[in-house]
């Protein structure tokens, strides 16, 4: 083989120039333009659709700011106590012969409840009356002797006259002592009839007929409670004491309402009758007592009830539903509905006290303005809304629990309507 026909050198093959490939770059450039066009179309399409369709209004519930009286209450847990509680006990010893009441019945003051065997006291009374009659007769005779001695004073000695006078005084004292014994046995005999000391309701009997009872017995015959009127005792924190003393010192009574355990059913209305004279240092509370007529027997002794005490009335306060108020890190605010274009403006407000789902507004709002109470989660300043007026008694979510629990992170914006 000729040397001229040998294979080319490897080094020269490595450094030989590579021919250009213009077709690949054309395809890459075309792909970039296609992607850019697709992106431009994607982002411009919503804007075009938005121009062709109006913004949808957000349905919300709204209410009007009104002026009115805001009643402020203190609440507590209380227990029903009878106005008076009496344990019926015998004052004398004897056999319980008869019980004249039915367990649980209402009794009147002076009504007969039971009878104790009176025979022993009747016999003793008869003996005492006999002794009284005997000593009375002796006293009468002594008085006659004294009268004769005094008429014949010249015929008797002074010693005889003095003795006659002393005898009269002696028998007069005996008669008085006998009368005391008679009165004592008469009283004991009357105690054999056990009567009610007050109007009330008698409980279950504690002693059966036939038992021997004593005045020293701790059990008693039964327990009577006075439930008309009736009282409720409850405690309030000591920091409420200034308001309590201010109201109790005024001429008007402090109204009190009590409710069942659920807090929904109103049981009775009354007034505060007493404030304790000291604070309980273990609990930091002060005890109060309220009195109720209880004509319908709605309150029962030892029943637990919820107490609501009216302590203040703010007249002509600007009121809005509590559910309309939202909280941010800076302040409290509401969404005010603009009647002209049915959009909302976020408005910072200053609030006061709240009660029964209403809150007083001191600054930032005027009477007659409409605020959103429900549907707040979907709103922002300037949003279009379709407001529905709240029905009477209707509360937005969270009303009564505290304002704005769902929008705490959004900052407040002040905007004049």
pLDDT bracket for residue 392 (50, 70, 90): low
Token pair recorded at residue 282: 């273990």
> Which is more confidently placed, 226 or 39?
226
Question: What value does the mean pLDDT take over residues 297-314?
Answer: 95
In tens, the pLDDT along 92-149 reads: 999 999 999 999 999 999 999 999 999 999 999 999 999 999 999 999 999 998 998 8
pLDDT at 32: 74
Are 307 and 75 in contact, with CB atoms under 8 Å apart? yes
CA distance 305 to 260: 5
pLDDT bracket for residue 12 (50, 70, 90): very low
CA distance 31 to 54: 36
In tens, the pLDDT along 46-76 reads: 554 445 556 688 999 999 999 999 999 999 9
Percent with pLDDT over 70 in the chain: 82
- The full DSSP string for 125-183 is HHHHHHHHHHHHHHHHHHHHHHHHHHHTTTTS-HHHHHHHHHHHHHHHHHHHHHHHHHH
**Domain 77-82+229-314, second-level architecture:** Beta Barrel (2.40)
Question: What value does the mean pLDDT take over residues 153-166?
Answer: 87
CA neighbours closer than 13 Å in the CB half-sphere of residue 388: 13
pLDDT bracket for residue 152 (50, 70, 90): confident
What are the start and end residues of each CATH 2.40.50.100 domain in the chain? 90-116+194-220
Q: What is the 3-state secondary structure (H, E, C) of 104-140?
A: CCEECCCCEEEEECCHHHHHHHHHHHHHHHHHHHHHH
Question: Which residue(s) pair with 68 in the sheet?
Answer: 317
pLDDT bracket for residue 155 (50, 70, 90): confident
Question: Which residue(s) pair with 178 in the sheet?
Answer: none
What are the start and end residues of each CATH 1.10.287 domain in the chain? 118-191
Average pLDDT, the chain: 86
pLDDT at 29: 75
E-assigned strand segments in 23-104: 58-64, 66-88, 94-99
| Global confidence as pTM | 0.68
SS3 406: coil
388 pLDDT more than 60: yes
pLDDT at 45: 54
- The full DSSP string for 275-339 is E-SS-BTTTTEEEEEEEE--TT----TT-EEEEEEEEEEEEEEEEEEGGG-EE-SS-EEEEEEET
Give whichever of 146-160, 245-259, 339-353 has the largest mean pLDDT.
Answer: 339-353
pLDDT bracket for residue 19 (50, 70, 90): low
179 pLDDT more than 80: yes
pLDDT at 138: 96
- 118-191 classified as CATH 2.40.50: no
Pick the CATH number of 90-116+194-220 from 2.60.120.10, 2.40.37.10, 1.10.10.10, 2.40.50.100: 2.40.50.100
409 pLDDT more than 50: no
In tens, the pLDDT along 201-217 reads: 999 999 999 999 999 99
pLDDT at 14: 44
pLDDT at 226: 96
> Which is more confidently placed, 143 or 153?
143
Question: What value does the mean pLDDT take over residues 153-167?
Answer: 87
258 pLDDT more than 90: yes
Token pair recorded at residue 60: 């919300």
What are the start and end residues of each CATH 2.40.30.170 domain in the chain? 77-82+229-314
401 pLDDT more than 70: no
pLDDT bracket for residue 249 (50, 70, 90): confident
407 pLDDT more than 60: no
pLDDT bracket for residue 253 (50, 70, 90): confident
5 pLDDT more than 60: no
Are 410 and 341 in contact, with CB atoms under 8 Å apart? no
In tens, the pLDDT along 20-42 reads: 555 666 767 777 777 777 666 66
> Which is more confidently placed, 181 or 159?
181
Question: What value does the mean pLDDT take over residues 239-251?
Answer: 86
Cα angle 129, 132, 134; round to 5: 110
């Amino acid at each position: 083989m000729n040397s001229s026909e040998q294979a080319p050198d490897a080094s020269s093959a490595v450094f030989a120039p590579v021919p250009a490939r213009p077709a690949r770059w054309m395809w890459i450039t075309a792909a970039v333009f296609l992607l850019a066009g697709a992106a431009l179309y994607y982002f411009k399409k919503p804007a075009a659709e938005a121009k062709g369709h109006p913004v949808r209004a957000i349905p919300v519930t709204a209410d009007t700011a009104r002026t009115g009286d805001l009643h402020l209450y203190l609440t507590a847990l209380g227990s029903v106590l009878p106005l008076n509680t009496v344990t019926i006990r015998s004052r004398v010893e004897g056999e319980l012969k008869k019980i004249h009441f039915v367990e649980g019945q209402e009794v009147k003051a002076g009504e007969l409840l039971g009878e104790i065997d009176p025979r022993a006291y009747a016999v003793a009374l008869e003996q005492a009356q006999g002794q009284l009659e005997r000593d009375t007769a002796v006293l009468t005779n002594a008085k006659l002797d004294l009268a004769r001695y005094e008429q014949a004073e010249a015929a008797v000695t002074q010693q005889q006259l003095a003795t006659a006078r002393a005898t009269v005084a002696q028998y007069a004292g005996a008669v008085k002592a006998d009368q005391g014994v008679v009165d004592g046995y008469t009283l004991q005999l009357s105690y054999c009839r056990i009567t009610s000391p007050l109007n009330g309701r008698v409980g279950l009997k504690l002693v059966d007929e036939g038992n021997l009872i004593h005045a020293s017995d701790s059990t008693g015959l039964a327990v009577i409670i006075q439930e008309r009127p009736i009282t409720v005792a409850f405690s309030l924190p000591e920091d409420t004491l200034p308001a309590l003393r201010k109201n109790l010192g005024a001429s008007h009574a402090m109204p009190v309402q009590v409710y069942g355990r659920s807090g929904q059913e109103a049981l009775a209305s009354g007034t505060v009758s007493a404030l304790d004279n000291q604070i309980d240092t273990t609990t930091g509370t002060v005890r109060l007592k309220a009195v109720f007529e209880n004509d319908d027997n709605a309150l029962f002794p030892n029943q637990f009830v919820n107490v609501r005490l009216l302590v203040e009335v703010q007249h002509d306060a600007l009121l809005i539903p509590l559910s309309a108020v939202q909280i941010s890190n800076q302040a409290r605010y509401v969404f005010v509905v603009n009647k002209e274009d049915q959009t909302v403006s976020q408005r910072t407000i200053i609030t006061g006290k709240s009660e029964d789902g209403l809150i007083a507004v001191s600054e930032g709002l005027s009477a007659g303005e409409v605020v959103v109470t429900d549907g707040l989660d979907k709103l922002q300043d300037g949003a279009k809304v379709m407001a529905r007026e709240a029905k009477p008694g209707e509360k937005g979510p969270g009303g009564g629990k505290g304002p704005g629990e769902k929008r705490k992170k959004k900052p407040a914006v002040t905007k004049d309507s």
